[in-house]
Amino acid sequence: METELTNKTQSPSAGYQDQIQEIAYNIFELTCYMFPMEEWELEDAGELERPDGNVRSIVRFDGAAEGAMVISPSEDLLEALAANMLGVEEANDEEKEGALCEIANIICGNTVPLFAHDEQICYIRPPRIAAQGEDTDELFKGMTREDVEVLLDEGIAEISIYYNAEDL
């Protein structure tokens, strides 16, 4: 499947992006029954509602690798996430944020081993919702950043992972 990847920092470890994307697609599929867009759907992807950054979840990790993951969903994806994960038709804001934090936690937990030596202990800290306008680039200044975009049948998510390249 072709999806557009962005790499704003041009890190030397751009290969991570494919792995992060694969992990994220797998988790959305298993956890929320959401699937990657088909190739024919990608032609119209530019017209889809994009994440506006209003609701973002941040998950920090430390131990053998240090950094954080930030996930920002489009509004339609956020609604679908909560509906699928909780089995409700119309989730309230608290439920939407809870669902986003949980999916962030799962994606982060499965991604972090990429940034740590195998079998070393990494600790995933509790996910939280970012404050409005919170500047994560400033928060994780000095870290390398990988950005991927996940295009799903229910909406779009942008995922950024900040990590210390010297941990690798």
Calpha distance 100→78 (Å, rounded)? 7
Contact between 122 and another protein by CB under 8 A: the answer reads yes
Considering the complex, state which of residue 62 and residue 153 has its C-beta at the smaller distance from another protein.
62
Contact between 108 and another protein by CB under 8 A: the answer reads yes
Q: Given CA atoms 9, 125, 153, 33 in this order, what sign does their dihedral have?
A: positive
Contact between 120 and another protein by CB under 8 A: the answer reads yes
44 by Cβ neighbours in 10 Å (0-12 / 13-18 / 19+) ranks as: exposed
What is the Cβ-side half-sphere exposure of residue 79, based on CA atoms within 13 angstroms? 9
Number of residues that bind another protein (CB under 8 A): 26
Give the binding range for another protein (CB under 8 A) out of 45-53, 65-73, 93-101, 157-165.
93-101
Please name every residue paired with 69 in a beta bridge, in sequence order, or none if there are none.
59, 161
Contact between 33 and another protein by CB under 8 A: the answer reads no
Among 36, 67, 73, 98, binds another protein (CB under 8 A): 98
Residues 6 or more apart in contact with residue 121 via CB below 8 angstroms: 63, 64
Q: Which residues of the chain form contacts with another protein (CB under 8 A)? A: 26-27, 30-31, 82, 85-87, 95, 98-99, 101-102, 105-106, 108-110, 113, 119-124, 126
